[in-house]
Amino acid sequence: MKLTANKSTGFNPVRTYGEPMNIVPVILDFSEVTDYSTGGEEIDLDSFFNYDEDFMMVIPPKDGYIFEYDDENDKVIVYEGDGTDGIAEVANEDDIASIGSIPALVFGY
């Protein structure tokens, strides 16, 4: 299943002055990701911005999972503790739907 991002309700995008960068609060929904793909789950952020440029995303950790946005491939990579005081990417085809929803900030143009 696909990871989705929905604009967070109750918040308006923040516009910066000068350069037209937008900061958009979103909710990442992992509830349908029952078969994680090694290398990350694809995500489409183009609908939140005027230009298909580089994006940056800040995602807080949740329930022992750590998240990284891969701008090069438009994916969110999910990591978890590996039992040896380190972290490792979630295994291919793992069910991570229990993560549910996570608030995040996306920066882009």
Q: What are the φ and ψ backbone dihedral angles of 46, each rounded to 5 degrees?
A: -60, -30
44 to each of 21, 76, 106, how far by Cα in Å?
18, 10, 12
Greatest mean pLDDT among 13-27, 36-50, 56-70, 75-89: 56-70
Give the residue, 84 or 19, on which the prediction is more confident.
84
pTM summary value: 0.83
- The model's pLDDT over 44-72, given as tens digits with 9 standing for 90+, comes to 888 887 776 778 899 999 999 999 999 89
Angle (CA) 81 40 65, round 5°? 25
